[in-house]
Amino acid sequence: MAWRCDVEMLATRVFALGISTPLVMLITAQAAQAQEYLAREAASARKHHAAPEAYDAQANPNYGFGPRVTVHPNDVLSGNRVIGRDPDPFIRGEILRHYNSGWPDP
């Protein structure tokens, strides 16, 4: 009877090992896939939510556009052009009104 008990224990252990090994492999594969997915999502978010850019009109005022620059909170924009920069919102409004007025510069 002792050998029968040993065989049953061995069969139980082999069965448990046979089930647990694929289960561990499945969990590991899912974790790796989740990491890969999160890395792709982060890269996509950086690409799609990049800071907006505009032409720096102050760099070449004769043509009204210059190199592409990142837009900052204090920038004054007209279309896709940065036409000025000031921390005061009232002054930014004045710059924009003067730029869009159509009047020539003095």
The pLDDT tens digits of the residues spanning 80-92 come to 888 889 999 999 9
The pLDDT tens digits of the residues spanning 26-67 come to 777 777 777 777 777 777 766 666 678 888 888 877 777 788
Q: What is the pLDDT of residue 93?
A: 92
| 101 band by pLDDT with thresholds 50, 70 and 90 | confident
Whether residue 1 is predicted with pLDDT greater than 70 in this model: the reply is no
Specify the long-range contacts of residues 54-61, CB closer than 8 Å, at least 24 apart: 54/80, 54/81, 54/82, 55/80, 55/81, 55/82, 56/81, 56/82, 57/81, 57/82, 57/83, 58/82, 58/83, 58/84
Q: What is the pLDDT of residue 65?
A: 74
Q: What is the pLDDT of residue 22?
A: 74
Considering only residues 70 and 15, tell me which one the structure prediction assigns the higher pLDDT.
Answer: 70
